[in-house]
């Protein structure tokens, strides 16, 4: 489990979008792709809300969203390859 207190040390990491992105990466590491997909949506909502409320900050929030979308696509492709290999192995006749 991530200790979010360590992420709160720096000024930039105090943003909710940073915490959501960190949680997204943890969900990917844990193989929880449904949760990761929901966190992408949450990140998109938070970035949109932040821009509406205070304007864009110095860092490019859009880059954060783009990066997590790329990671999610990569993880989904990896999972699909594993599932395809498992299905192919299940169809192979056993010995004897």
DSSP the chain: ---GGGGGSSSGGGSHHHHHHHHHHHHHHHT-HHHHHHHHHHHHHHHHHHHHHH---SS-HHHHHHHHHHHHHHHHHHHHHHHHHHHHHHHSPPP-
pLDDT of residue 4: 52
Does this model's pTM top 0.85? My answer is: no
pLDDT of residue 78: 86
Residue 84 included in any domain: yes
pLDDT digits (tens, 9 = 90+) for 1-31: 555 555 455 555 578 888 999 999 999 999 8
CA dist 72 and 80 (Å) reads 12
Residue 42 included in any domain: yes
Residue 22 included in any domain: yes
Residue 82 included in any domain: yes
> Closest Cα partner for 2 from 55, 60, 13?
13
Residue 64 included in any domain: yes
Residue 11 included in any domain: yes
Residue 61 included in any domain: yes
Residue 96 included in any domain: no
pLDDT digits (tens, 9 = 90+) for 27-85: 999 989 899 999 999 998 988 887 777 765 545 566 778 888 888 888 888 888 888 88
- How many domains does the chain divide into? 1
* Structural domain span for residue 86: 4-91
């Amino acid at each position: 489990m991530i200790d979010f207190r360590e992420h709160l040390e720096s000024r930039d990491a105090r943003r909710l979008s940073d915490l959501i992105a960190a949680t997204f990466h943890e969900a990917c590491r844990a193989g929880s792709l449904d949760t990761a997909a929901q966190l992408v949506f949450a990140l998109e909502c938070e970035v949109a809300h932040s821009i509406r409320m205070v304007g864009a900050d110095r860092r490019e929030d859009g880059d954060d969203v783009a990066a997590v979308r790329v990671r999610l696509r990569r993880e989904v492709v990896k999972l699909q390859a594993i599932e395809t290999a498992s299905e192919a192995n299940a169809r192979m006749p056993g010995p004897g």
